[in-house]
């Protein structure tokens, strides 16, 4: 059932303004505008946009416009060249984190000691390069572009704090969370960081609504896209191409809906690794939408492109059209046990299995757990009031009877009726893994 649904709608998610079909038509409209010379694609190779245009079956009257930067035909993965030091400021004790290149994955078992929100001490870090050290006293956010009624505007942190404050509990989850299971469960090759399930954390984000800031800056009725950009170093691909600073266009509809510019995380100033002094937070969307270390936001009357919505963060592969899916928006559906791999259990003892489940499309409706590799299923007890944009903790008692290795499964269902499938259709960059994860454990006597 979920398989046929995926074919019709390759990008998970349901209702407007970010439903797959509206994103797909938005994407076609952008490409039309690019052909008409009305959309900019700075820092994106011209031929990459042309490839999208061709694959979308759009007209061949191609503008002579300015040439984009040269870019490779295929990126060699989404992680920068491995550095000797990960460039992360906070401590990364091995019982809480697995360091992967410039990134740090949270060990899911370490979350058992945390509450609904994830303390900074446990929160995963995904850095394209390294954490920059910024000085809030000299920092200001610049808002500019032809989607404003007037000229550029600057906001200091104090200016932002004078606007009405807003806060939201929401996860940040990398689009590649679970990517490692394409190889280990499905025998498929994908590029990028081989995360297990710990490229997610939930925090209480405090700041101001992006909508309020855009209005204060003088939002024009002609605005269609906003492009937040980070102050971290330019991202250089493995083959040496400079893609510029990390940035990704956000459709205005999302920007005005529930996006927050956060200067606080769990009631404290944002820590350096998570975007100090200001980050964007796009609830329910893939992590790349939540740009850290904000320096400027372009507000545009025409559609914008960056490599983070042309090559990265689309689904490419046999199950998808040649131009890839529309740019990824909402996260998918997952659940995870708060257990290490091969966790030991003993027969005749009553254990309590705990975990978390979440969805980018709605709240969690139920979680079913199997302790016998899928033969029988038991409904887990939910410990949070399920809400969208955050996870729900769950538990199930288990008294193992048979010694030996076994496989635990947890299968979440969300309020849109989506159920985690047995397999995820392959995509070359390993995004949005949503299949039930087969968690190996060992039962001793």
Ligand X SMILES: Nc1nc2c(c(=O)[nH]1)N[C@H]1C(S)=C(S)[C@@H](COP(=O)(O)O)O[C@H]1N2
Q: Which of ligand X, Mo ion, none interacts with 274 (beta carbon under 5 to 8 A by kind)? A: ligand X
Among 148, 208, 214, 246, binds ligand X (CB under 6 A): 246
By a kind-dependent CB cut-off of 5 to 8 A, residue 181 interacts, out of Mo ion, ligand X, none, with none
Shortest distance, position 243 Cβ to ligand X, whole Å? 11
According to CB under 6 A, which one of 292, 314, 356, 418 is a site residue for ligand X? 292
Q: Of 35 and 288, which CB lies nearer to Mo ion in the complex structure?
A: 288
Minimum separation from the CB atom of position 68 to ligand X (A):
21
Q: How far apart are CA 114 and CA 95, in angstroms?
A: 14
* Candidate residues 190, 224, 291, 297; the one interacting with ligand X per rule CB under 6 A: 291
Q: Does 195 bind ligand X (CB under 6 A)?
A: no
The answer to the question of residue 174 lying near Mo ion (CB under 5 A) is yes
Strands (E), 118-192: 141-144, 153-155, 165-173
Nearest to 142 by CA among 261, 247, 228: 228
Q: Could you please report the per-residue DSSP string of 67-92?
A: ------SS-S-SSPPPPSS----S--
Which has the closest alpha carbon to 294: 120, 170, 156?
Answer: 156
Length of the chain measured in residues? 445
Count of beta carbons in the 10 Å neighbourhood of residue 104:
23
Stretch touching Mo ion by CB under 5 A, among 282-290, 358-366, 373-381, 394-402 = 282-290
Using the rule CB under 5 A, is 314 a contact of Mo ion? Answer: no
Strand partners, 141: 155
What is d(CA 16, CA 11) in angstroms, rounded to the nearest whole number? Answer: 13
Q: Binding to ligand X by residue 232, rule CB under 6 A? A: yes
* Nearest in space to 192 (alpha carbons), one of 311, 356, 48, 47: 311
Pick out residues in 108-147 that bind Mo ion (CB under 5 A): 126
- Tell me: does residue 274 bind ligand X (CB under 6 A): yes
Q: Is 274 exposed, middle or buried (0-12, 13-18, 19+ CB in 10 A)?
A: buried
Smallest distance from the beta carbon of 29 to ligand X, in angstroms?
A: 26
DSSP secondary structure letter of residue 422: S
Q: 139: burial class by Cβ within 10 Å (0-12, 13-18, 19+)?
A: middle
Enclosing H/E stretch for 31: helix 20-35
User: Is residue 230 a contact residue for ligand X (CB under 6 A)?
Assistant: yes
* DSSP-assigned states of every residue in 263-302: EEETTEEPPGGGTTT-EEE-TTBBGGGS-SSEEEEEEESS
Which of Mo ion, ligand X, none has residue 334 at its interface (CB below 5 to 8 Å by kind)? none
Residues 96-135 that bind ligand X (CB under 6 A): 123-128
Q: Which is nearer to ligand X, 127 or 420 (CB)?
A: 127
- Whole-angstrom distance, CA of residue 359 vs CA of residue 414: 7
The site partner of 292 among Mo ion, ligand X, none (C-beta below 5 to 8 Å per kind) is ligand X
Q: Which of 106, 290, 323, 390 binds ligand X (CB under 6 A)?
A: 290
- Pick the closer one to Mo ion by CB: 125 or 278: 125
User: In this structure, how many other beta carbons lie within 10 angstroms of the beta carbon of residue 264?
Assistant: 17
Interface size with ligand X, residues (CB under 6 A): 19
Show the tokens assigned to 254.
């999302």
Residue nearest to Mo ion (CB): 174
Task: Tell me the closest approach of the beta carbon of residue 290 to ligand X, in angstroms.
Answer: 5
* 174 scored as a contact of ligand X (CB under 6 A): yes
d(CA 172, CA 174): 7
Q: Binds 128, which of ligand X, Mo ion, none (CB < 5 to 8 A, cut-off by type)? A: ligand X
Spatial separation of the C-alpha atoms in residues 129 and 118, rounded to whole Å = 23
The answer to whether 195 and 336 have CB atoms below 8 angstroms apart is: no
Q: Which of 172, 299, 410, 441 binds ligand X (CB under 6 A)?
A: 172
| Nearest approach, Cβ of residue 174 and Mo ion (Å) | 3
Give whichever of 246 and 369 is closer to ligand X, judged by the CB atom. 246
Q: Does 431 bind ligand X (CB under 6 A)?
A: no
Which one, of 355, 376, 348, 358, lies nearest residue 420 by Cα? 358
Which residue's C-beta sits nearest to ligand X? Answer: 230
The yes or no reply on residue 288 touching ligand X (CB under 6 A) is yes
Choice between 135 and 445, CB closer to ligand X: 135
> Which of Mo ion, ligand X, none binds 172 (CB below 5-8 Å, type-dependent)?
ligand X
Strand-pairing partners, residue 374, are: none
Residues forming the site for Mo ion (CB under 5 A): 126, 174, 287-288
Q: Which chain residues interact with ligand X by CB under 6 A?
A: 123-128, 172, 174, 201, 230, 232, 246, 274, 287-288, 290-293
């Amino acid at each position: 059932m979920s398989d046929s649904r995926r074919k019709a709608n390759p990008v998970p998610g349901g209702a407007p303004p970010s439903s797959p079909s509206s994103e797909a038509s938005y994407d076609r409209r952008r490409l039309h505008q690019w052909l008409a010379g009305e959309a900019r694609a700075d820092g994106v190779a011209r031929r990459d946009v042309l490839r999208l245009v061709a694959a979308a079956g759009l007209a061949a009257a191609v503008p002579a416009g300015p040439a984009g930067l040269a870019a490779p035909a295929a990126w060699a993965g989404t992680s920068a060249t491995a550095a000797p030091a990960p460039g992360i400021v906070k401590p990364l004790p091995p019982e809480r984190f697995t360091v992967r290149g410039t990134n740090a994955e949270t060990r899911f078992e370490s979350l058992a000691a945390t509450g609904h929100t994830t303390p900074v001490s446990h929160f995963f870090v995904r850095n394209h390069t390294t954490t920059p050290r910024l000085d809030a006293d000299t920092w200001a956010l610049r808002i500019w572009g032809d989607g404003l009624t007037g000229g550029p505007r600057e906001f200091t942190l104090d200016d932002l704090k004078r606007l009405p404050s807003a806060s939201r509990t929401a996860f940040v989850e990398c689009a590649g969370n679970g990517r490692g299971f394409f190889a280990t469960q499905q025998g498929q090759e994908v590029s990028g960081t081989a995360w297990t399930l710990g490229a997610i954390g939930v925090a209480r984000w405090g700041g101001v609504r992006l909508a309020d800031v855009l209005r204060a800056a003088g939002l024009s009725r002609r605005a269609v896209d906003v492009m937040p950009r980070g102050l971290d170093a330019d991202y250089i691909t493995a083959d040496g191409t400079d893609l510029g600073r990390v940035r990704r266009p956000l459709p205005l509809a999302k920007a005005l809906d529930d996006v927050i510019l956060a200067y606080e995380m769990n009631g404290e100033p944002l820590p350096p690794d998570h975007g100090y002094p200001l980050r964007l937070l796009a609830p329910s969307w893939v992590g790349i939408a939540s740009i850290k270390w904000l320096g400027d936001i372009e507000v545009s009357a025409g559609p914008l492109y960056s490599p983070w919505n042309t090559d990265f963060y689309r689904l490419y592969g046999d199950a998808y059209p040649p131009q890839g899916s529309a740019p990824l928006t909402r996260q998918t559906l997952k659940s995870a046990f708060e257990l290490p791999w091969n966790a030991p259990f003993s027969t005749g003892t009553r254990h309590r299995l705990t975990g978390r489940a979440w969805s980018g499309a709605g709240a969690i409706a139920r979680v079913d757990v199997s302790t016998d590799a899928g033969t029988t299923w038991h409904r887990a007890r939910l410990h949070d009031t399920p809400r969208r944009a955050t996870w729900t903790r769950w538990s199930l008692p288990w008294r193992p009877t048979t010694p030996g290795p076994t496989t635990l499964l947890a299968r979440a269902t969300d309020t849109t009726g989506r159920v985690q499938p047995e397999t995820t259709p392959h995509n070359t960059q390993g995004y949005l893994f949503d299949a039930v994860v087969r968690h190996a454990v060992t039962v001793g006597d």
